Copies of this chain bind each other. A is one copy, B any other.
Amino acid sequence: MEKENYVIGLDYGTDSVRALIVDASDGSEVASHVHHYRRWSEGKYCDAAANRFRQHPLDYIEGLEVSVKEALGNAPAGAAGKVRAISIDTTGSTPVAVDKDGVALAMREEFAENPNAMFVLWKDHTAIGEAEEINALAKSWGGVDYMKYSGGVYSSEWFWAKVLHVLRDDAAVRAAAYSWVEHCDWLPGLLTGNTDPLKMKRGRCSAGHKAMWHEEFGGLPSEDFLARLDPMLAGLRGRLYTHTSTADVPVGTLTAEWASRLGLTGGVVVGGGAFDAHMGAVGGQIKPGSLIRVMGTSTCDMLVAPLEEVGDKLIRGICGQVDGSIVPGMLGMEAGQSAFGDLYAWYAKVLMWPLRNMLSESGVVDSCTGSRLADEVAGKLLPHLDENAGKLGIGDTGIVALDWINGRRTPDADQSLKCAIAGMNMGSDAVGIYRALVEATAFGSKKIIDRFVEEGVRIDEVIALGGVAKKSRFVMQTVANVMGLAIKVVESEQACALGAAMFAAVVAGIYKDIPEAQDAMGSGFCAEYVPDMRNHARYAGLYAKYSELGSHMENSVRKGR
């Protein structure tokens, strides 16, 4: 194997984009750079209380240029000339309205400040009503069951709900939106000059998991179905796509303009895009029987199985099962929790309220000192809570919580569900509540495992990657104890970008397929959490209380509709 083959994995997360330059021969990480989206970090175009989260295409484009050029700058001299291919993963479903030329509407001057013309981020839940309509129609639809491969429930986090919500919400965007493109498809199209919405390459991963695309349906849901959902959607199907590609298929090569903007040479191959969790699963060495959990603000729980093993079996209540969405040639299954680290971050923000709002506002100290003190405490808060919560025993506090602060992705997607905390008395403190929230995320994890197992899917081991997997021993041990399964933690700090680099190595022709790239480029594991099975048994009672509280809150939400 030639030592001079470099590939770039680009990983677009919720807050930042990471460019990782990898030596394809052994997976060694040559250089990287992380760029935080500027507008996003200023809180622009978002309204957390309304669950509206939008991202501007310029955040993505600036991030692309800065991260690639800085990573090249950090690499040994001459690295740019050795780059053979780029592959990209992004969050999703994160679609944007585009015009006839495939230009994201917010890139046009008249829409530059309109959130509806921007990318609708995965965690935007403005389309809860639309998701309900899609569910109602799909369930009563006499013909094809379009939700059969999406776990039987359509989520407000997904493509059609978001498209319909924005079209209804904004007449100007409606008039200008010729088609819609997922973030993971839009960037490869942009880099290779293939932006015509009717001809550009569309990824199997986003289409199959989020847009009800399936070969059996002849592609997307029928024109009849979409027009019945809302006449506003009539004709849109013809301006989207019927064919999709897996991410081991090249989209093209860098345009001369983009080669120059990124500081690369001509001929660099650009691979098809896919979601971060899916490429992260590849980077984390997914294989049949290994559940890969990408554990960050939320979790994505990924499994692959040989197509012949699953056959016609449909898995209830997961986010989808799609041929080739993770590893081409195998069935990819996706599940996940809408909030994981987000739940802790939310709680930390609640606890920080006096420090953030009162030290300076109330004149206790000057505003400069106040915000410095607050920042210092905020940076240490979660580790400090971890340390104290770890000293409590199971069930000591009597508190039980639900992890649905962002709704529930799986099992059985329902984004209208909310967080709850119950069982406090006068002796309950901030640490006890935190422990209950950590246990809630662990119980949410177990619900997913339970569902896969109930549905007959094999799980031999759990592999974790993402920020939380590396940061909190307390959280990881709690999850292992609650699940009763060992968890291995992936060594690489940038498994999603590494997975993208593996795809890049395949589109560059360096390896014949993903399993071969995984064998050569995998990073291995840095830790393993072995469950304490006595504690696992002790959690049975609390888990039952979690289930019971959850059922009540679900029934209550349903009654309220």
A interface with B by C-beta (< 8 Å): 47-51, 339, 342, 346, 349-355, 357-359, 361-362, 364-365, 373, 376-377, 380-381, 384, 398, 405-407, 418-431, 433, 545, 548-549, 552-553, 556, 559
Is the CB–CB distance between B420 and A421 below 8 Å? Answer: yes
Bound Cα distance from A51 to B51, whole angstroms: 39
Is the CB–CB distance between A50 and B406 below 8 Å? Answer: no
When distances are taken between beta carbons in the complex, the residues of chain B under 8 Å from A421 are 420-422, 424
Bound Cα distance from A353 to B398, whole angstroms: 19
When distances are taken between beta carbons in the complex, the residues of chain B under 8 Å from A548 are 556, 559
Is the CB–CB distance between A420 and B418 below 8 Å? Answer: no
When distances are taken between beta carbons in the complex, the residues of chain B under 8 Å from A342 are 426
When distances are taken between beta carbons in the complex, the residues of chain B under 8 Å from A355 are 354-355, 377
Given A420-B423, A433-B350, A556-B545: A377 touches B362 (CB 8 Å cut-off): yes
Is the CB–CB distance between B398 and A425 below 8 Å? Answer: no
Is the CB–CB distance between B380 and A359 below 8 Å? Answer: no
Is the CB–CB distance between B350 and A377 below 8 Å? Answer: no
When distances are taken between beta carbons in the complex, the residues of chain B under 8 Å from A556 are 545, 548-549, 552
Is the CB–CB distance between B380 and A358 below 8 Å? Answer: yes
In the complex formed, the residue of B with least CB distance to A548 is B556
With both chains docked as a complex, state the minimum distance between the C-beta of A448 and any C-beta of chain B, in angstroms: 20
> A384 touches which one: B50, B357, B428 (CB < 8 A)?
B357
With both chains docked as a complex, state the minimum distance between the C-beta of A92 and any C-beta of chain B, in angstroms: 19
Q: Can you list 20 A-B contacts (CB < 8 A)? A: A47-B427, A342-B426, A346-B424, A349-B429, A350-B429, A350-B430, A350-B433, A351-B430, A354-B354, A354-B377, A357-B384, A359-B377, A362-B380, A364-B376, A364-B380, A365-B373, A405-B424, A405-B428, A419-B423, A419-B428
> A426 touches which one: B376, B405, B425, B545 (CB < 8 A)?
B405
Given A51-B427, A351-B350, A423-B418: A384 touches B358 (CB 8 Å cut-off): yes
When distances are taken between beta carbons in the complex, the residues of chain B under 8 Å from A353 are 351, 429-431
Chain B CB within 10 A, most for which of A359, A407, A420: A420
When distances are taken between beta carbons in the complex, the residues of chain B under 8 Å from A350 are 351, 428-430, 433
When distances are taken between beta carbons in the complex, the residues of chain B under 8 Å from A427 are 47-51
Bound Cα distance from A71 to B394, whole angstroms: 51
In the complex formed, the residue of B with least CB distance to A123 is B426
Given A354-B352, A355-B355, A380-B362: A419 touches B424 (CB 8 Å cut-off): yes
Chain B CB within 10 A, most for which of A48, A354, A552: A354
When distances are taken between beta carbons in the complex, the residues of chain B under 8 Å from A425 are 51, 405-407, 418-419
When distances are taken between beta carbons in the complex, the residues of chain B under 8 Å from A545 are 556
Is the CB–CB distance between A354 and B351 below 8 Å? Answer: yes
When distances are taken between beta carbons in the complex, the residues of chain B under 8 Å from A426 are 48, 51, 339, 342, 346, 405-406
With both chains docked as a complex, state the minimum distance between the C-beta of A406 and any C-beta of chain B, in angstroms: 6
Is the CB–CB distance between B429 and A418 below 8 Å? Answer: no
With both chains docked as a complex, state the minimum distance between the C-beta of A496 and any C-beta of chain B, in angstroms: 22
With both chains docked as a complex, state the minimum distance between the C-beta of A27 and any C-beta of chain B, in angstroms: 36
With both chains docked as a complex, state the minimum distance between the C-beta of A283 and any C-beta of chain B, in angstroms: 27
When distances are taken between beta carbons in the complex, the residues of chain B under 8 Å from A358 are 377, 380-381, 384
The 10 tightest CB contacts between A and B, nearest first, are: A49-B427, A353-B430, A420-B422, A48-B427, A419-B424, A552-B552, A418-B423, A364-B376, A350-B430, A358-B377
When distances are taken between beta carbons in the complex, the residues of chain B under 8 Å from A346 are 424, 426, 428
Bound Cα distance from A427 to B373, whole angstroms: 24
Given contacts A364-B373, A548-B556, A548-B559, 13 further A-B contacts (CB under 8 A): A51-B426, A350-B429, A353-B430, A354-B430, A355-B377, A358-B380, A359-B377, A405-B424, A406-B425, A418-B423, A419-B423, A552-B552, A552-B556
Bound Cα distance from A164 to B79, whole angstroms: 81
With both chains docked as a complex, state the minimum distance between the C-beta of A67 and any C-beta of chain B, in angstroms: 27
Is the CB–CB distance between B418 and A424 below 8 Å? Answer: yes
In the complex formed, the residue of B with least CB distance to A427 is B49
> A553 touches which one: B361, B419, B422 (CB < 8 A)?
B422
Bound Cα distance from A420 to B433, whole angstroms: 11
When distances are taken between beta carbons in the complex, the residues of chain B under 8 Å from A418 are 398, 422-425
Bound Cα distance from A429 to B48, whole angstroms: 10
When distances are taken between beta carbons in the complex, the residues of chain B under 8 Å from A359 are 373, 377
With both chains docked as a complex, state the minimum distance between the C-beta of A486 and any C-beta of chain B, in angstroms: 31
Bound Cα distance from A559 to B428, whole angstroms: 22
With both chains docked as a complex, state the minimum distance between the C-beta of A388 and any C-beta of chain B, in angstroms: 8
With both chains docked as a complex, state the minimum distance between the C-beta of A546 and any C-beta of chain B, in angstroms: 11
With both chains docked as a complex, state the minimum distance between the C-beta of A555 and any C-beta of chain B, in angstroms: 9
When distances are taken between beta carbons in the complex, the residues of chain B under 8 Å from A419 are 422-425, 428
Bound Cα distance from A142 to B362, whole angstroms: 63
